Amino acid sequence: MTNQELREEIVYYFKKQYDLGMLNTFEGNLSARTGDNTILITPTRQDKERITPNMILEVDMDGRLLDDTTLSPSTELGMHLEIYKLRPDLQSVLHNHSAYATAFALVGRPLANDMAESFMFYGGDIPVCPYGRPGTDDVFRDFKKYFVDRDKDVLLLANHGLVTSGKSIGEAFDKAEAVEKLAKITILSETLGPDNPLSAVEKAKLIEIYNNRRNN
């Protein structure tokens, strides 16, 4: 995929999140790794309805801006770069404050239930990373524990929001959309009573499916 095509896809999925109510007009950020190992990322504080592909900024892996522009990269650029450095297999990173997922982040509770898809698509729970002030290195100081040591692709940020990653922009978006629904289902199900737990054998089989999908 060319850089221009990546820019267009970033804009498409950025606006799609806004249309679905997953972020407001000035929050959230989305990036993609190029074939030259540079990063294309959304600019800071730009109206979602007005953003265009030529407003997507290119930076190197040290965060240096490669475009001649008055726009500035997202304030969470450092978080995106850290994930790309930790996980060379990942090609896109998405961050938003979608309501139901962020509710779990605000109370510091991992998103964990016995819904089959939780194991098939996320390898079980979605953990909460300790709080770090937005826009600073503190946000990602513990990322290695999750993205490398626990091999997670999705993470809740305490008192902040959600970050997802994938092998494509579409995959990072799909995870963010699915996590938001998963969080909503979890909240709704708990109003009905205790869940119906899966057996240990079934959980292990679902984890096997998850690992096979990730490796293919």
The model's pLDDT over 92-139, given as tens digits with 9 standing for 90+, comes to: 999 999 999 999 999 999 998 888 888 888 888 999 999 999 999 999
CATH number of the domain that residue 156 is part of = 3.40.225.10
Helix H or strand E encompassing 120? helix 116-122
What is the reported pLDDT for 18?
94
**Predicted structure pTM score:** 0.94
Beta strands in the chain (DSSP E): 29-33, 39-41, 57-59, 92-96, 128-129, 154-157, 161-166
- Domain range for residue 206? 3-215
The model's pLDDT over 132-166, given as tens digits with 9 standing for 90+, comes to: 999 999 999 999 999 999 999 999 999 999 999 99
Total domains present in the chain: 1
Residue 126 burial class via C-beta count within 10 angstroms: exposed 0-12, middle 13-18, buried 19 and up: buried
The model's pLDDT over 67-99, given as tens digits with 9 standing for 90+, comes to: 999 999 999 999 999 999 999 999 999 999 999
Handedness of CA 154, 7, 96, 141 (dihedral sign): positive
> Average per-residue pLDDT in the chain?
94
